[in-house]
Structure 1
């Protein structure tokens, strides 16, 4: 009897071949996972971050969680090295997601986590916009032009097809132009406007504002935000303290996890006792489930901050695993069911 453990290795190429990214399906999976977490159906230990450069926030994160109803435990190992594109011509985020079943504890899949990380982060921003932005939003402003900025626009545009104008601001005109050249090919119905590093211009006309940058300085000013806008905060310290203080509603994917991370603007404000627990309107699941209303007025300025929850990654990775293996892709890797002492006996010390 073969008691060896078969593990599927699922590469980005496998995911691309099977076309496993139904964006609306993934948004549905994420919404359902947030509700499950609210119901106590998910275990979520604290994220462990090993930070190697606090100024650049160069780090590797270890993010475990368990989907109790599905019997799936997973962990994402993800690195964020903001200088990679400039210094090494490599992407700044890379990761893998390990999935195990919780009957015997053995792993059954290792899934490329880089694309999943980009998509789940942008999906959370899009879900935040779905419940907190004006439905008739037509003007978008992005501060940041990297992969997260592109992915956020893709996902939010999917849910807000009336967006026809996008203001683009970055640290250099070169990066703004590169963003525009890529995006205008896919979104022919959108006019992209370079802001020449004018962050105020990117924000002041926007119905939806997204900051997706790696720097740790407040680029977005409260005076730049019009009434009725929705702001999606993606990274760390990207906006001045007066921005959340001006908000009618502050919503997080999970406030407790965000406080634990410590680097986002509102977490800094909490640590400095400028913002209190009662200033946070809701976690996103409270609104998705209908326990609390989302946007209630066209004049509301709503603020959304997600920190990243590993059960979202695990839920999406499990869905992709099922899609990929159902179509015959993925490579097998074997963990031998061995008596470790017998193995040691066979070794020549």
Structure 2
């Protein structure tokens, strides 16, 4: 019997190489994960959050899941430290562990930092595919960090019609870095630094994205209008009035969200929103059970909480592609289950 336990270490560089020039694959993985879940092909335990500071929401999350059809289980261990942003360091870092479920052996450890950025932005883009207005020309960002940059990258891929991108941040230097990142590589887009003016960033946009590390209602209800799509990425980012103005509220998974601390979850706990006020989960729209956008006049609110089975679908695809392409580093953890007890005496 072979009791060798070998794992593949897959770095952030490997992950980037796998999706290089294959951005559409990101959206396919997201939709595939939602459909697997809708068919009952995933196990989806509750996320475990260790919150170290309730005010800043500095935390580490343990997010497990199983893809029964693919015979893999795993978890993402991801830290979210909003207090990192003022220090100029990334606020989300993580790793993913993948195991097969025939023997239970671990098979891979995968960078979860880039994967989290890709998954979060790809979910927002899949939502936009079904919920955005017919022609997307202007996007506005409140927040200008890693997640905002990844959302813009994938939104521009999905909607080549984008011609204007407005960005507001608490710090002008962050806006400047955002624009410097894209100004030369995407010359057909006019970038506008809003110098912290969130209202300017939102005005006359087709898609709004709030991607901030704080816990404050930076998006005001007075600034949203008919026809917009709002992609809510993180926690408490908008006034309650924003959701109350929505013609449709769509979630990645309402049941997984409702007891969290995001805006609509706070509203639910306070009795301002009820289950019936949630129009659909995104999976229902992808599967054709409910319609997405039905009118150019609809203001649609999309709430993303982050789902471990989507992360795991990414992990499985990354592991499969890394194995095919010869990427990653194979490490033997144990060659035998035999223990030489003499070394402990």
So what's the TM-score if we normalise by structure 1?
A: 0.95
Alignment RMSD: 1.5
CA distance in 2, matches of 1:103, 1:121: 30
1:148-227 alignment runs, 5 A limit: 148-227=147-226
Question: Are the counterparts in 1 of residues 156 and 162 from structure 2 also a CA contact under 8 Å?
Answer: yes
Report how far residue 18 of structure 1 moved.
Answer: 4.7
1:273-288 alignment runs, 5 A limit: 273-288=271-286
Q: Does 1:268 align with 2:236?
A: no
Match of 2:258 in 1: 259
1:116-127 alignment runs, 5 A limit: 116-127=115-126
Match of 1:61 in 2: 61
Q: Does 1:11 align with 2:11?
A: yes
Report how far residue 15 of structure 1 moved.
Answer: 2.8
Report how far residue 229 of structure 1 moved.
Answer: 0.5
Q: Tell me the SS of whatever aligns to 1:178.
A: helix
1:95-114 alignment runs, 5 A limit: 95-114=94-113
1:298 maps to which of 289, 296, 309: 296
Q: Tell me the SS of whatever aligns to 1:304.
A: strand
CA distance in 2, matches of 1:121, 1:335: 32
Question: Are the counterparts in 2 of residues 20 and 320 from structure 1 also a CA contact under 8 Å?
Answer: no
CA distance in 2, matches of 1:334, 1:174: 45
Change (3 A) 1:166 1:313: same
Change (3 A) 1:274 1:16: closer
Match of 1:93 in 2: 92
| Per-residue CA distance 1:50-85 (angstroms, 9 max, x = gap) | 111122211100000000111110100011112324
Q: Does 1:315 align with 2:321?
A: no
Match of 1:29 in 2: 29
Question: Are the counterparts in 1 of residues 66 and 74 from structure 2 also a CA contact under 8 Å?
Answer: yes
CA distance in 1, matches of 2:86, 2:232: 24
CA distance in 1, matches of 2:193, 2:51: 33
CA distance in 2, matches of 1:259, 1:246: 19
Match of 2:342 in 1: 346
Change (3 A) 1:191 1:301: same
For structure 2, which runs of at least 5 residues remain unmatched after alignment? Answer: none
CA distance in 2, matches of 1:254, 1:24: 22
CA distance in 2, matches of 1:91, 1:21: 25
Change (3 A) 1:98 1:21: farther
Question: Are the counterparts in 2 of residues 254 and 283 from structure 1 also a CA contact under 8 Å?
Answer: yes
Report how far residue 307 of structure 1 moved.
Answer: 0.5
Count matched residues: 345
Q: Tell me the SS of whatever aligns to 1:150.
A: helix
| Per-residue CA distance 1:113-153 (angstroms, 9 max, x = gap) | 11110000000111111111102121111000000000011
CA distance in 2, matches of 1:3, 1:44: 29
Question: Are the counterparts in 2 of residues 14 and 324 from structure 1 also a CA contact under 8 Å?
Answer: yes
| Per-residue CA distance 1:297-341 (angstroms, 9 max, x = gap) | 00000000110001111111111111112121211122325446x
Question: Are the counterparts in 2 of residues 20 and 324 from structure 1 also a CA contact under 8 Å?
Answer: no
Q: Tell me the SS of whatever aligns to 1:181.
A: helix
| Per-residue CA distance 1:281-311 (angstroms, 9 max, x = gap) | 0000000010000000000000001100011
Q: Does 1:228 align with 2:227?
A: yes
Q: Tell me the SS of whatever aligns to 1:83.
A: helix
CA distance in 2, matches of 1:16, 1:301: 34
Q: Does 1:140 align with 2:139?
A: yes
Q: Tell me the SS of whatever aligns to 2:318.
A: helix
Q: Tell me the SS of whatever aligns to 2:214.
A: coil
